[in-house]
Structures are given as C-alpha cells and as structure tokens.
Amino acid sequence: MSKQKSLVQCFIGKRITIAESTSKELVGIEGKIIDETKEMFTLDTKKGTKKIVKNQITFTTDNGRRIEGKNIRKTIENRMKLRIKNE
C-alpha cells in the first residue's frame, strides 16, 4: 500500500501500538481503534477505553506500518476527498 493510500484509509477496527508520544505514559499502549475524529482516536485497550490525541503520537499498525498522527489530522471523509482529488 502506498504511503498516500495508507493515510486516507479508515483506521476504525485496526489494531495499533503507540510507538512514540509527547506523553511518555502513552508509549507502548496497544488497542483497537473503536472511534476516530479529526483530532482523536478512541482505543479499546486491556485497561479500558482511552482517548488519544493524534497530534501527540506516532503509531504502528498490525502490519508494521509506522504513521505519525499529525499526518492524519483530518476526518475520514476529508482524507478520502483529498485522495480522490489527487488521483
């Protein structure tokens, strides 16, 4: 999958691990994304539901892809519009 296509996909239902964060307590958190807004992910983790600010994290997906949260700070709909416009 190309970098651009990975950034426009819907992340709901994907498992992620937080690799880097401006908040050290977030590093290493793993979970399934159950909701996504422009600025946040809601993760279902072993310790319950956590809201994570996208701009503060770099995460890896279950297939090993590393993504900076600041690069996907748009709604799913707006990321799809950007993809269509650039094709």
Total number of domains in the chain: 1
pLDDT digits (tens, 9 = 90+) for 34-64: 999 989 999 999 999 999 999 999 999 988 9
Q: How many CB atoms lie within 10 A of CB 43?
A: 23
Q: What is the DSSP string of 2-40?
A: -HHHHHHS--TT-EEEEEEESSGGGTT-EEEEEEE-SSE
Whole-model pTM over 0.85:
no
Pair 53, 36: CB distance under 8 Å: no
Domain of residue 76, CATH code: 2.30.30.210
Closest-CA residue to 19 (of 62, 76, 72, 79)? 62
Q: Which residues form the domain of 19?
A: 3-86
The predicted structure's pLDDT at residue 8: 53
Answer with the residue of higher pLDDT: 36 or 4: 36
Query: What 8-state DSSP symbol labels residue 74?
Result: S
